[in-house]
Amino acid sequence: MHVELFDRTVELDADRVRASEDEIRAQVGEYVAGERRTFDLPVTTPEGFAGEVAAEMRAIPYGETRTYGDIADALDTAAVAVGRACGANPVPLVVPCHRVVGADSLGGYSAGDGLPFKRRLLELEGADASATE
């Protein structure tokens, strides 16, 4: 399914979210309006390593970031592997991969229009996106 925010389209794998499209859109709208800090949508995450990365991403609080290296350390793996798993996230926003950044850059982002969209999400949350330009 597609959701619109900031005049951008974000693709969410609705098969992984056990909620109606109306509920998903409502929660995204509340998030953009600053009325929601977490999504309480039941999500089926991938199994294995990608699921472990997704769990780490979901644990990052609103307005905070973690580096690919932080997550790699927590999972005893390489940062590049974490980056690949983030890039394959089937439900961006709901599983907040935008909160994962490089040690000295924003890293990458596969939703919306890429890095400008990631920066905008971080700014919405009050995270310091300028420190990683």
What's the CA dihedral at 69, 70, 71, 73 to 10 degrees? 80
d(CA 68, CA 60) in angstroms, rounded, equals: 12
Q: Which amino acid belongs to residue 27? A: Q
Residues 97, 100, 101, 121: which is the catalytic one? 97
| Two structure tokens written together for 74 | 């927590």
Active site residue 97: yes
Catalytic site positions: 97
